[in-house]
Amino acid sequence: MTIYQDILIAKKNHRKLLAILIDPEKVTVTQGFDLSKILINSPVTHIFVGGSSYNGTHLDELTAVLKTTTNLPVLIFPGHPSQISNSADGILFLSLLSGRNPEYLIEHHINSVDILAKSNLEIIPTGYLLIDGGKETAVQRVSQTQPIEHANIELAYKTAKAGEFLGKKLIYLEAGSGAKQHVSLEMIRYIAQNIEVPLIVGGGICSMQTVRDIYNAGADLVVIGTAFENNSNFFNL
Ligand code: 1GP
């Protein structure tokens, strides 16, 4: 079964999914081993690996360690084509639909073809929407795009739905790593009720209670980065 098929089945069965975002800029290979020990005893179901500005050399090794020591599906969450690793299981092939920067809508994708065409990675087309999280985040800075306003549910919904019509298999609502405020429950609820494909929500989520609230609002998969970096006991709270 593919990773995407499993996500679809989880959605159908209301089995909520939880991803940890690991930024290779902040995690060494040795730390990857330690992380794995925590993750295998946690509710985490997926590992996302990526960052807005990583350009180091240990991505393949770190990805391989995370994959082999946890047995969890590892998906590349790329900020740039150079962040694609064949050691992963798949890739969220992101189009930044909230923005109007052609690099993040199609250019990076073209530049990824040579490596992806030769890889065994499961490629999952993902509509990526940056929603204002109360401060300028790395995605905004690196992509040079404006987020959708926190309160503009209609625009966020129409952008997500257009992504679905374009064939995106996942929609990802992103407040940005370390956001002051996560995507509102109201926006999540409205979009979840009005799209068919699974919904991912991430950015600025600081407690397991908020994770549950976001599930209850209709998200199928929640992404945690900063909160776990700050507290490795996060999933037990
Ligand atoms: C960022 O959504 C992820 O792409 C995670 O955000 O670091 O704020 O948890 P945080």
pTM across the whole model: 0.98
Ligand 1 closest atom vs CA 202: 2
Ligand 1 closest atom vs CA 179: 8
Domain ranges (residues) in the chain: 3-230
- Distance from the CA of 177 to the center of ligand 1, in angstroms? 4
Task: Answer whether residue 52 shows pLDDT above 80.
Answer: no
125 lines ligand 1 (CB under 6 A): no
Which pLDDT score is estimated for 67?
96
Q: Tens digit of pLDDT for each residue in 109-145?
A: 999 999 999 999 999 999 999 999 999 999 999 999 9
- Distance from the CA of 125 to the center of ligand 1, in angstroms? 19
Q: How confident is the model at residue 55 (pLDDT cuts 50, 70, 90)?
A: confident
83 lines ligand 1 (CB under 6 A): no
- Distance from the CA of 93 to the center of ligand 1, in angstroms? 17
23 lines ligand 1 (CB under 6 A): no
The β-bridge partners of 127 are 95, 171
Which pLDDT score is estimated for 35?
96
Task: Answer whether residue 237 shows pLDDT above 90.
Answer: no
- Distance from the CA of 178 to the center of ligand 1, in angstroms? 6
- The three-state DSSP-derived secondary structure of the chain is CCHHHHHHHHHHCCCCEEEEEECCCCCCHHHHHHHHHHHCCCCCCEEEECCCCCCCCCHHHHHHHHHHHHCCCEEECCCCHHHCCCCCCEEEEEEECCCCCHHHHHHHHHHHHHHHHHCCCEEEEEEEEEECCCCCCHHHHHHCCCCECCCCHHHHHHHHHHHHHCCCCEEEEECCCCCCCCCCHHHHHHHHHHCCCCEEEECCCCCHHHHHHHHHHCCCEEEECHHHHHCCCHHHC
Q: Tens digit of pLDDT for each residue in 153-192?
A: 999 999 999 999 999 999 999 999 999 999 999 999 999 9
Per-residue pLDDT, averaged over 220-225, amounts to 98
- Architecture of the structural domain at 3-230: Alpha-Beta Barrel (3.20)
- Among 128, 205, 222, residue to substitute to test ligand 1 (most atoms within 8 Å of Cβ): 205
- Distance from the CA of 25 to the center of ligand 1, in angstroms? 14
The β-bridge partners of 200 are 172, 221
Which pLDDT score is estimated for 229?
95
160 lines ligand 1 (CB under 6 A): no
Which pLDDT score is estimated for 53?
77
- Distance from the CA of 60 to the center of ligand 1, in angstroms? 21
181 lines ligand 1 (CB under 6 A): no
What is the C-alpha separation between 125 and 212, in angstroms, rounded? 26
Average pLDDT, the chain: 96
Per-residue pLDDT, averaged over 17-44, amounts to 96
225 lines ligand 1 (CB under 6 A): yes
- Distance from the CA of 229 to the center of ligand 1, in angstroms? 10
